[in-house]
Structure 1
């Protein structure tokens, strides 16, 4: 009996210490403390565990803009860089919508997937401040006409939410302005619904031009 009591006590003590370590680990990411990250990793903390609030260190570092902590995390081969949160988002998606180019570059260098099913990092980059993130993702092979679950494309998101330079960037790279989502809305419709009348007008002009070119090519064949 005494043996089992001692074993149970040790197990409970170990579990408590692990829990405390994870809490400290995530806090180190939150407060941009790379030394804390490195120390905890050396002690064997699993970098992918969640704290009592359901947070992982990687997602926390990205969300808080903790670049030094992120660098320390990405140096660990155990970190799952393509993990998803409860909303189906990856760390790269969150870095993209923040417009954090340095974080996006670090995550991609570490192996974060630029393309995925459904919403993609490029969708997210086109929904936020950008700061060069969209151009970088495109250069890394991001799918320009990726479709979310409801058929939304990055161009649609850029037309309604992104900076004024994003729509021209995507069009020049080859994005399809004639694409429509499940509600039969095009990027021009997205721009109009966002009160961006000039952009909507320009997109409709581009749509007409491309359609005429497509019809001419079809007639020639």
Structure 2
């Protein structure tokens, strides 16, 4: 089998058929063995139907004396099981730090991958073995390697089930903004499962920015758990910080309802939306701040059926007549274009100008009629909107 980092699969090894292999398997299952045995004529790297070698078995059962004997006899440290797991994966998962060092010294591949991409570091973190993780990282383990169907990093795993591994990963530059295939980063996951510990060990890194300029405050602003947002605001995070697109945390909070569509408790959603917006406003967030495209938080809430956010922003003084975006539209234009009836009613109640035209010379009524949003058309007509301007 080739000595490389990626598991490509292999043919099954010969089944135990000789007394010599049986002796090796016996030894690997029991740690009370003689200090020296003549194994010159034994195939020390023989594998059974699962791909287990004597070294695999001894390490899995914690028989480290026996494992050491096999290593001294020249056992292959990179032999793989059929599922791709190496001896280093097992040692890392068991927390055998001395053995990990010995294996690496003898040439074990630190970033060896199983069929689904799991490395020894992932194995160590999954089993909550921070000491194993530290030894691996000191010896070149890739801290941001991904595995599994959704591309989880070791930090994703640590946040989910092994908080005692968070510190060693972050101190070795684990990316708190690394997105898995579901679009969730470790920082966002931490906000859902227990943000306190993450914030404690990250030592201010939540103030860092992702490659798109997104900060922890942006993510917390659309999180159902307001405790995270409170902690960051109290910690002095800039509430008007912008992403590369010019979006502020208030922009994010204003569209958070779309991230909570699966939440059945609408009262909880309403409470969370208003709470997050209010936290940011009280901390000095600019309610009419435009992003790079000229869109305000009110634009964001109106274009995504965010009726709770729209109502609260208007109640707190948001300007309903700001035009923005490529088509120079107001919040009323955006709400009318998607048939957002609740937002249309709120906007009209708070003085949105019904006669304003967008960059294409369309009124809100025209946009609603063109998309056959008849309920919206009726409301706009009831408010004395001319058929044309």
TM-score scaled by length of structure 1:
0.76
1:41 corresponds to: 39
* Secondary structure in structure 2 of the residue aligned to 1:211: coil
Q: In the alignment, which of 71, 74, 91 is matched to residue 74 of structure 1? A: 71
Unaligned runs of 5+ in 2: 1-13, 214-241, 246-389
1:154 corresponds to: 154
Counting helix residues as a fraction of each chain, which structure ranks higher?
A: 1
* Secondary structure in structure 1 of the residue aligned to 2:118: coil
Partner deviation per Cα, 1:101-131 (whole Å, 9 max, x = no partner): 1221121121111113421111111111315
* Secondary structure in structure 1 of the residue aligned to 2:34: helix
Question: After superposition, where does 1:1-221 map in structure 2 within 5 Å?
Answer: 19-35=18-34, 38-39=36-37, 41-42=39-40, 44-51=41-48, 55-77=52-74, 79-117=75-113, 118-130=117-129, 132-150=131-149, 151-164=151-164, 166-191=165-190, 195-199=193-197, 208-211=206-209, 215=213
Partner deviation per Cα, 1:168-205 (whole Å, 9 max, x = no partner): 22112111010011222222455467x43534666999
What's the C-alpha RMSD, in Å, of the aligned pairs?
3.4
Instruction: Name whichever of 196-205 and 102-111 sits farther off.
Output: 196-205
Unaligned runs of 5+ in 1: 1-14
Partner deviation per Cα, 1:51-106 (whole Å, 9 max, x = no partner): 477632011011011111111111123x2211111221111011111111122112
Bigger-Rg structure (1/2): 2
Q: Which has the higher contact order (CA 8 A, sep 6+)?
A: 1
Distance in structure 2 (CA, Å) of the matches to 1:199 and 1:29 = 40
Cα 1:177–1:81, aligned 2, differ >3 Å: closer, same or farther? same
Cα 1:88–1:55, aligned 2, differ >3 Å: closer, same or farther? closer
Distance in structure 1 (CA, Å) of the matches to 2:177 and 2:142 = 16
The answer as to whether partners of 1:18 and 1:45 remain within 8 angstroms in 2 is no
Cα 1:209–1:197, aligned 2, differ >3 Å: closer, same or farther? closer
